[in-house]
Amino acid sequence: MKDFSSPECQGAHRAMRDTLDVIGGKWKLVILSIMLERKWRFKELVREIGISPRILSKELQELEINKLITRTVCNTRPITVEYEATSHSRSLEPVIRALREWGVAHRQEIIGRKENAVPQLSN
Amino acid sequence: MKDFSSPECQGAHRAMRDTLDVIGGKWKLVILSIMLERKWRFKELVREIGISPRILSKELQELEINKLITRTVCNTRPITVEYEATSHSRSLEPVIRALREWGVAHRQEIIGRKENAVPQLSN
DNA sequence: CTGTATCCTCCGTGATACTG
DNA sequence: CAGTATCACGGAGGATACAG
């Protein structure tokens, strides 16, 4: 349990920490980013993002717990599942769009137009 | 080196990945968030954030490499160092503010007003 | 197709002590 | 004060196979 009475939680960054607890990590914003586009099926996400099924499953569960996506099982053969953004996650849409645009701007800021030559953007 | 020709980098989320490579992780946005307020000294940040010196040092170096903060050594005895946000990082200010506000809103969305009772916000 | 189980690796993080 | 060195650890993330 987070200790809300601890000194570091009294400052202006408590809310930021809360946010990062929910949408932080390597994948959540990437998932939400493309999830805002349309409905997706599990395997579509695996392929589109390039993520392992295990990790994706875990991430989706956590997003669903926080009411950022919905999971809908369809009556098909075989069973298919649709994941979709909620209105709550759509409240993040301007932020996500801004973060994407900033990524593009940063690439210009740091490297000029020299694509594919940025140590800071390496994996 | 990131493989920009790989399939998962052709989609709409490449820019988001780039952004997360720079300001992702556990600390960067928290640091930038309070860094936008004013100048800070090293130890001030350690205390304010509740982060170990080693980690803070590493984070600050990475932020400086990406031109998000400046590091200024002052001619004092003993030496002091001031860290300050750059204009480049100030371009993130609206986003950071939005993320903070979203953290507050999310707390309400998920838990109502029941403070200190959120499994999803635990450490 | 939609996941879960299992195993494993490595990086991020922390504590502490220490140097300049 | 501003860091760095060293040691240690847990957990996030990945690969693969498999189950329903």
pLDDT in tens, B84-101: 999 999 999 999 999 999
User: Across residues B56-63, what is the average pLDDT?
Assistant: 96
pLDDT of residue B92: 94
Indicate if the pLDDT at residue A97 is higher than 90: yes
Q: For residue A57, say whether its CB is under 7 Å from any atom of strand C.
A: yes
Interface residues, strand D, Cβ cutoff 7 Å? A 25-27, 51-55, 78-79; B 41-44, 53-54, 57-58, 60-61, 71, 78-81, 83
Distances (CA, A) of A59 to A35, B4, B29, B123: 13, 24, 21, 17
d(CA A117, CA A111): 7
d(CA B9, CA A49): 8
Type and span of the H or E element at A83:
strand A80-85
Cβ <8 Å between A22 and B106? yes
d(CA A23, CA B113): 21
Nearest to A44 by CA among A36, A59, A34, A54: A34
Indicate if the pLDDT at residue A29 is higher than 50: yes
Nearest to A6 by CA among B50, B26, B115: B50
CB A29 within 8 A of CB A99: yes
Indicate if the pLDDT at residue A83 is higher than 70: yes
Confidence of residue A13 (pLDDT cuts 50, 70, 90): confident
d(CA B55, CA A71): 38
Cβ <8 Å between A16 and B6? no
DSSP state of A73: E
Nearest to B103 by CA among B49, B51, B20, B33: B33
Indicate if the pLDDT at residue A43 is higher than 60: yes
pLDDT of residue B26: 93
Indicate if the pLDDT at residue A39 is higher than 90: yes
Q: Does A112 touch chain B (CB under 8 A)?
A: no
User: Across residues B62-70, what is the average pLDDT?
Assistant: 95
Residues 3-42 of A with CB under 7 A from strand C: 41-42
Nearest to B97 by CA among B34, B51, B13, B47: B34
Type and span of the H or E element at B109:
helix B93-111
φ/ψ of residue A68, rounded to 5: -95, -20
pLDDT of residue A123: 36
In this complex, the nucleotide whose C1' atom is nearest to the CA atom of residue A60 is: C3
pLDDT in tens, A52-82: 999 999 999 999 999 999 999 999 888 999 9
pLDDT in tens, B8-18: 445 567 889 98
User: Across residues B102-123, what is the average pLDDT?
Assistant: 64
Strand pairing partners for A82? Answer: A41, A72
Hey, is B69 helix, strand or coil?
strand
d(CA B123, CA B108): 18
pLDDT of residue B110: 80
d(CA A82, CA B86): 43
